[in-house]
C-alpha cells in the first residue's frame, strides 16, 4: 500500500469527518472507497457506447452555468 498527502479545504474536511464518523470508518478509508467507486464508475462508462472517450462521463471542470 502507498501513502500520500491530500489537502482539503476546511469545509470539505468537516463534511468528510461527519460522514466517515456516521459510517463508522476512518477518513482515510472513506477516501479510499471514494477512489474505488470512481474507478469502477469510469470502467463502466468506458465499456459503454462512448468507450473511445474516457472523459465522456466526467462533469466539466469549473463552475457550471445554471439556466435562468
34 inside domain: yes
19 inside domain: no
Domain count, the chain: 1
Query: How confident is the model at residue 48, as a pLDDT?
Result: 73
For the full predicted model, state whether its pTM sits above 0.85: no
Could you list the residue range(s) of the whole structural domain that residue 37 is in? 27-51
Task: Give per-residue pLDDT as tens, 19-56.
Answer: 999 999 999 999 999 999 999 999 988 887 554 555 55
32 inside domain: yes
Determine which of 8-17, 34-43, 54-63 has the lowest per-residue pLDDT on average: 54-63
- The residue with greater pLDDT, 59 or 43, is 43
Query: How confident is the model at residue 52, as a pLDDT?
Result: 52
Query: How confident is the model at residue 61, as a pLDDT?
Result: 57
40 inside domain: yes
12 inside domain: no
37 inside domain: yes
CA distances (Å), origin 51, targets 48, 55, 57, 60, 68: 6, 9, 10, 18, 34
17 inside domain: no
Rounded Cα distance between 17 and 26, Å, is 8
Amino acid at each position: 500500500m502507498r501513502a500520500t498527502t491530500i489537502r482539503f479545504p476546511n469545509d470539505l474536511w468537516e463534511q468528510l469527518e461527519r460522514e466517515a464518523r456516521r459510517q463508522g470508518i476512518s477518513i482515510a478509508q472513506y477516501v479510499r472507497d471514494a477512489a474505488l467507486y470512481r474507478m469502477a464508475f469510469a470502467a463502466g462508462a468506458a465499456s459503454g457506447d462512448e468507450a473511445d472517450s474516457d472523459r465522456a462521463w466526467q462533469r466539466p471542470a469549473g463552475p457550471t452555468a445554471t439556466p435562468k
